[in-house]
C-alpha cells in the first residue's frame, strides 16, 4: 500500500487513486483536533454511531445491512467529494431508504423534504397565505402497543379529513382543504408516543405583518402587544375548532385527547419556525427586522438541515434510534410498528396544487456544488464500516482538504 502524504491523498489531480494511508491500522489515520467542532460534525458522528448499533441489531437479511455496503450498479467505485464549505461526502453506494430505521437515509430524505418545504413556505409568503403548524396527538398508556396507537391516530386523521363538517369548517375559515402531514414517534414513560404535525394554509388575512409606520416608541409597544394578542386569540380559536373535530374522530377509534394537549396550533412566523425546527434540530436562525423589530425565521439554511434521525424529543422522551442497546424489545416494537408506514404525506400534492415546480427543489447553491477528490473502493469502505470509522475518515479528509490549501 502506498504511503501518500495528506496533501497527495486528497489532491483533485489524482482522482483515480485511493486515499492510501493505512486507514485501519496506521497511526497517521487520526483526526487532528479542530478549534471548533461544529454541530454538523457532532450530528454526523451521532448518526453514524446510531447506524452502527441499529444495523448490528436487525436481522442479517434486513435491507439496512446492505445500506452503504453495496456499490451502485452504475458506478465502478465510490467517490469522495467536497464542496466550497469543505464539507466531505461519499457517494456511489446504494441506500436502503428506510427513513424509520436508518439514520443516514432519514437524513438524506429530510434534506429533500426541506427543499420542497422551503418552496412551499416561500410560495405562501409571496401569495399572502397564512401558515398554520398544527400538532395532533392522543392519550395513551404504557400498555398500548405502537401498532394500536399509530393505527388509531392514522384512522382518526383519515376520518377527520373526509368529514363534510370538517371540510366545511376549513372552507368557512378560508383554509385550503389539503394539508401536509408529518408523522413523528417518540418513546416516553407512557410507551411510544405517535403524533402528527400538519401544515395548513389559509387566506384569512392573518399573514399581515405588524406595521408600525409613524408610531412613536410608546404607541408602538402598545400596538405591538395588541397585535400579538390578536394573533394569540386566532390561534386559540383555530385550536378550539380543530379539537372539536379531532375529538370526534378519535372517539370513533376508542381513543381520546385532552383539550390542552390534543391539538396545538402555531400561526405565521411561529409556524414557519416550527417547520424549520422540526427538520433542523440546530434550531432556526432568526434575524431582527429593522423596521418592525420582529424576529423573522431564516428559511434558507438548507445545508444545515439534519433530520428526524438527530432530533431529540422534548418532555423527557427518547428518540427511537437511541433505544438500542439498552431496550431492544422496545426497538423491535418500533421496527414492527413503522413497517410500511409513510413519514410525510401530502407534500408533493400540495406543491402540485399550488403549481410549484418541485424540480427547483433539488437545485444547489454555489457553496453546495460538490467536486470529486478521489475514488475509494467499496472493499475499502466496507472495512471502514466494519471498524466503525466512516465518520472519522470523513473528518480526516475534511482536515486534509483544509491543510492542502494552507
d(CA 174, CA 158): 21
Q: Which residue has the cell 394569540?
A: 232
When comparing pLDDT for 392 and 243, which is higher?
Answer: 243
> Is residue 51 in a domain?
no
Instruction: Tell me what pLDDT residue 144 has.
Output: 95
pLDDT at residue 323 tops 90: yes
Does a structural domain hold residue 289?
yes
Q: How far is CA 284 from the centre of its chain?
A: 12
Task: Kindly state whether residues 109 and 189 are assigned to the same domain.
Answer: yes
Angle at 368 between CA 199 and CA 40, to 5 degrees: 70
User: Is the omega angle on the peptide bond into residue 325 within 30 degrees of 0, that is, cis?
Assistant: yes
Residues 137-157: what's their mean pLDDT?
96
Domain membership of residue 42 (yes or no) is: no
User: What pLDDT is stored for residue 142 in this prediction?
Assistant: 92
113 and 66 in a common domain: no
- In the predicted model, what is the mean pLDDT of the chain? 80
Closest CA to 82 of 70, 94, 90: 90
Higher-confidence residue: 309 or 5? 309
Give the pLDDT band (50/70/90) at residue 58: very high
* Confidence category of residue 23, pLDDT binned at 50, 70, 90: very low
pLDDT of 402 above 70: no
Residue 66 within a domain: yes
Inter-residue contact 103 to 321 (CB < 8 Å): yes
Tell me, yes or no, whether 14 and 107 share the same domain: no
Same domain, residue pair 257 and 144: yes
Domain of residue 396: give its range. Answer: 6-30+59-100+370-404
Q: How many independent structural domains does the chain possess? A: 2
Q: Per the domain annotation, does 395 fall within a domain?
A: yes
Please say whether the beta carbons of 50 and 322 come within 8 A: yes
- Is residue 145 within 8 A of residue 333, CB to CB? The reply is yes
Whether 329 is in a domain gets the answer no
Give the closest residue to 345 by CA, choosing from 197, 203, 194: 197
pLDDT at site 31: 52
Q: 319 and 212 in one domain?
A: yes
Residues 83 and 178 in one domain: no
Residue pair 361/116 in contact (Cβ under 8 Å)? The answer is yes
How far, in Å, are 20, 68, 336, 340 from residue 76 at the CA level?
18, 14, 36, 32
**168 and 79 both lie in a single domain:** no
Higher pLDDT, 31 or 146: 146
Query: Taking 50 as the threshold, does the pLDDT of residue 27 lie above it?
Result: no
Selection from 49, 5, 4, 201 nearest residue 121 by Cα: 201
Residue that wins the pLDDT comparison between 305 and 392: 392
Number of H helices, E strands in the chain: 11, 10
C-alpha cell at 360: 427547483
Judgement on whether residues 352 and 376 belong to the same structural domain of the protein:
no
Q: Would you call 245 exposed, middle or buried from its count of C-beta atoms within 10 A (0-12, 13-18, 19+)? A: buried
In terms of phi and psi (left: phi > 0; alpha: psi -120 to 50; beta: otherwise), the region of 405 is alpha
> How is residue 144 written as a grid cell?
398500548
Are 294 and 398 members of one domain? no
Residues 63 and 109 in one domain: no
Question: If you search the block for the grid coordinates 458522528, which residue do you land on?
Answer: 45
* Average pLDDT of the residues in 47-75: 93
- Would residue 267 count as lying in a domain? yes
DSSP string spanning 59-119?
-TTSGGGGTTTSB-TT-SSEEEEE-TT--EEEESB-----TTT-HHHHHHHHHHHHHHHHH
Same domain membership, residue 178 and residue 87: no
Are residue 266 and residue 172 in the same domain, yes or no? yes
- Percentage of the chain beyond pLDDT 70 is 77
Own/partner contacts of 28-32, CB < 8 Å, gap of 24 or more, are 29/389, 29/392, 29/393, 29/396, 30/396, 31/392, 31/395, 31/396, 31/399, 32/399
Sign of CA dihedral 312, 196, 128, 221: negative
Q: Which residues contact 334 (CB under 8 A, 6 or more apart)?
A: 100, 146, 185, 187, 192, 320, 323
Cβ pair 287, 315 in contact under 8 A: no
Q: Is residue 46 part of a domain?
A: no
- The values of phi and psi at residue 203, to 5°, are -100, 60
Task: List beta partners, residue 192.
Answer: 187
360 or 205, higher pLDDT: 205
pLDDT band at 64 (very low <50, low <70, confident <90, very high): very high
Amino acid at each position: 500500500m502506498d504511503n501518500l502524504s495528506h496533501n497527495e491523498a486528497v489532491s483533485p489531480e489524482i482522482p483515480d487513486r485511493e486515499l492510501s494511508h493505512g486507514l485501519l491500522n496506521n497511526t497517521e489515520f487520526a483526526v487532528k483536533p479542530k478549534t471548533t467542532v461544529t454541530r454538523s460534525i457532532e450530528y454526523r458522528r451521532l448518526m453514524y454511531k446510531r447506524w452502527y448499533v441499529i444495523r448490528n441489531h436487525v436481522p442479517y437479511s434486513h435491507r439496512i445491512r446492505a445500506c452503504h455496503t453495496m456499490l451502485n450498479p452504475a458506478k465502478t467505485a465510490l467517490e469522495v467529494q467536497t464542496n466550497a464549505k469543505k464539507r466531505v461526502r461519499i457517494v456511489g453506494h446504494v441506500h436502503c431508504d428506510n427513513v424509520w430505521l436508518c439514520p443516514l437515509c432519514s437524513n438524506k430524505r429530510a434534506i429533500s423534504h426541506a427543499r420542497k418545504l422551503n418552496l412551499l413556505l416561500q410560495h405562501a409568503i409571496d401569495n399572502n397565505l397564512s401558515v398554520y403548524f398544527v400538532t395532533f396527538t392522543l392519550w395513551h398508556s404504557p400498555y398500548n402497543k405502537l401498532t394500536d396507537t399509530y393505527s388509531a391516530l392514522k384512522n382518526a386523521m383519515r376520518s377527520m379529513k373526509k368529514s363534510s363538517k370538517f371540510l366545511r369548517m376549513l372552507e368557512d375559515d378560508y383554509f385550503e382543504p389539503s394539508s401536509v402531514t408529518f408523522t413523528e414517534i417518540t418513546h416516553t414513560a407512557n410507551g411510544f408516543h405517535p403524533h402528527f404535525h400538519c401544515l395548513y394554509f389559509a387566506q384569512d388575512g392573518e399573514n399581515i405583518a405588524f406595521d408600525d409606520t409613524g408610531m412613536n416608541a410608546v404607541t408602538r409597544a402598545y400596538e405591538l402587544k395588541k397585535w400579538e394578542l390578536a394573533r394569540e386569540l386566532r390561534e386559540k380559536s383555530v385550536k378550539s375548532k380543530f379539537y372539536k373535530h379531532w375529538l370526534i374522530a378519535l372517539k370513533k377509534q376508542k381513543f381520546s385527547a385532552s383539550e390542552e394537549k390534543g391539538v396545538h396550533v402555531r400561526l405565521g412566523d411561529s409556524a414557519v419556525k416550527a417547520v424549520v425546527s422540526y427538520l433542523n434540530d440546530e434550531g432556526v436562525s432568526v434575524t431582527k427586522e429593522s423596521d418592525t423589530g420582529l424576529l423573522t425565521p431564516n428559511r434558507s439554511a438548507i445545508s444545515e438541515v439534519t433530520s428526524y434521525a438527530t432530533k431529540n424529543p422534548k418532555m423527557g422522551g427518547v428518540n427511537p434510534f437511541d433505544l438500542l442497546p439498552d431496550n431492544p424489545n422496545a426497538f423491535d416494537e418500533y421496527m414492527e410498528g413503522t413497517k410500511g408506514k409513510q413519514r410525510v404525506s401530502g407534500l408533493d400534492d400540495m406543491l402540485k396544487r399550488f403549481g410549484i415546480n418541485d424540480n427547483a427543489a433539488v437545485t444547489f447553491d454555489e457553496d453546495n456544488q460538490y467536486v470529486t477528490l478521489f475514488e475509494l473502493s467499496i472493499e475499502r469502505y466496507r472495512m471502514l464500516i466494519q471498524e466503525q470509522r466512516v465518520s472519522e475518515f470523513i473528518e480526516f479528509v475534511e482536515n486534509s482538504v483544509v491543510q492542502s490549501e494552507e
